[in-house]
Amino acid sequence: FAGPSEIMVVCDRDDIPVEYLVRDMLSQAEHDPDAVAVLVTTSAKQAKDVSKRLKKLVPTLPRREIIEASFANRSAIIVAEDLEEIFEVINELAPEHLEVLTKQPFEDLHRIRNAGAIFLGPNSPEPVGDYFAGPNHTLPTSGSAKFSSPLGVQDFVKTSSVISYSPERLVRQGEKIIRFAEEEQLFAHAEAIKVRLKNQQAAKKP
């Protein structure tokens, strides 16, 4: 959680400027040598164009050594078969930051199960979220978006579970609870229910 920065940019459009894709990958690669920058595109030509532009541009950048280490260690350009494969990659890698530059980003949103922060459309690059849009900046990394969410107020709130059964409800559900307990061979659990059911039955007798 909140480890080295990550970005995944996904694209199935030929009209997205190569410079958008390049600059968005660099926006995270410049963080540190362990940062992750991944482009997933359905276009082999687009992948090649991005790669060429990066090779030309990176040596001119102030943080080039950090960026070069990031690209050498933990970054990639992936050519996907189709949009379906793009979403398989997203949900498997569960990126911290995800930019969705698809033809219908809002319609595609429901297909994304695992990502920390999702940026929809060509006018929502990741720095918008860093500096101005206001989403939580402490995000799950290293695939932890598969099982966790951005840090929120709830993470700092201590709660307790409160359970109170009425006699009628215990009668309705008691046998099911006993069955679960006995299936696990936790017979004392079962007896804690049985004794109450017996007590209630006895109380009903004239």
Average pLDDT by consecutive 10-residue portion of the chain (206 residues)? Answer: 90 98 98 97 99 98 98 96 98 98 98 98 96 90 94 88 95 97 97 96 80
What pLDDT, on the 0 to 100 scale, is given for residue 1?
A: 63
Indicate which CATH number applies to the domain containing 130: 3.40.50.1980
Write down the pTM of the prediction: 0.83
C-alpha distance from residue 170 to each of 148, 184, 199 (Å): 35, 20, 12
Q: Residue 135: helix, strand or coil by DSSP?
A: coil
**Co-location of 20 and 81 in the same domain:** yes
Regarding whether 172 and 152 lie in a shared domain, the answer is no
Given 30, 31, 97, 126, which residue is catalytic? 97
pLDDT the model gives residue 2? 73
Structurally, the chain folds into a number of domains equal to: 2
Cα 204 to Cα 56: distance, rounded to the nearest angstrom: 86
Query: Which is the catalytic residue, given 6, 30, 96, 99?
Result: 96
Residue 103: domain span: 6-156
31 is catalytic: no
Is 1 inside a domain boundary?
no
